[in-house]
Amino acid sequence: MVDKEKHLHYFKKMEIPLWILQDSGNKLSKEKIKDDDMSKKVITREQKISTLDWPKLKLAVNNCRACDLYKTRTNPVFGVGNPNADLLVIGEAPGANEDKQGEPFVGRGGQLLTNMLSAIGFKRGDYYIANILKSRPPNNRDPSLAEVTACTPYLLRQISLIKPKLILAVGRIAAHFLLGTDASMASLRGNLFHFGANKIPLLVTYHPAYLLRSPREKRKAWQDMLCVKKQLDLEVIEPNG
């Protein structure tokens, strides 16, 4: 005869909730097994991600199956750059080139963004750059709510680890997500916002892909870059002011 008590002990140690079978009629008892080990607080996925260090966070993204994008992506796009950067650049999602190389902003638009930031004194390795989504949506469609929800804990943990002095939201979707608004880009640009409980300064600019389609808007984007430089210069000299 199987040792029932031994099996129950193992199941409880593994925190598997069980219902006790009555001896007569093999009916389920209404009384659930009570054990202190089984009443431990459940740790949510978001809480677990919020404790990960850089290597474990990247591994979690690589192995993520929280939405269906893992089925169609070539590579996850975690993010690159200085993990202690003053400037954190956040876009919306990887495109075809990013999906192929596993790195954000590496296509024509990415090169334009790199050149713009370089013009105000920031080499690509000086700042950190990431996307809201870590996997490419098929056909470069807008991210779904489920996909954004699945990836949000990863981005929040990246922000927490970097502790940037300034966030630059690149494009409409990134701006809307980070600010919780659906306001037009025209109304968001040129204003200083604050993100999260730590009130990290945040600026908004056009997505470089949009600038490639609308080159006349590059002048406005350059104004945004000057705002980035001004804000970070203020952060540098403020303690001695």
**Residue 98 predicted with pLDDT over 50:** yes
> Higher model confidence: residue 4 or residue 107?
107
Residue 234: per-residue pLDDT: 61
Number of Cβ within a 10 Å radius of residue 20: 13
Residue 14, domain member (yes or no): no
pTM equals 0.80
Amino acid sitting at position 171? G
Please state the rounded mean pLDDT for residues 173-195.
97
Number of Cβ within a 10 Å radius of residue 207: 23
Residue 204, domain member (yes or no): yes
Residue 175, domain member (yes or no): yes
Average pLDDT, the chain: 86
Residue 20: per-residue pLDDT: 36
Residue 61, domain member (yes or no): yes
Residue 139, domain member (yes or no): yes
CATH number for the domain spanning 189: value is 3.40.470.10
Residue 54, domain member (yes or no): yes
3-class DSSP state for residue 199?
coil
Residue 43: per-residue pLDDT: 81
Residue 140: pLDDT band (50, 70, 90) is: confident
Spatial separation of the C-alpha atoms in residues 98 and 103, rounded to whole Å: 5
Please state the domain count of the chain: 1
> Which domain covers residue 74, as residue numbers?
46-232
Residue 77, domain member (yes or no): yes
Partners of 205 in beta bridges? 170
- Contact in structure between 79 and 57 (CB atoms under 8 Å): no
**Residue 237 predicted with pLDDT over 70:** no
pLDDT digits over 36-72, tens only? 443 445 689 999 999 999 999 999 999 999 999 999 9
With vertex at residue 222, the alpha carbon angle to CA 103 and CA 193, rounded to the nearest 5 degrees, is 80
Amino acid sitting at position 155? L
Residue 79: pLDDT band (50, 70, 90) is: very high
pLDDT digits over 210-233, tens only? 999 999 999 999 999 999 999 999
Residue 3, domain member (yes or no): no
Residue 241: per-residue pLDDT: 36
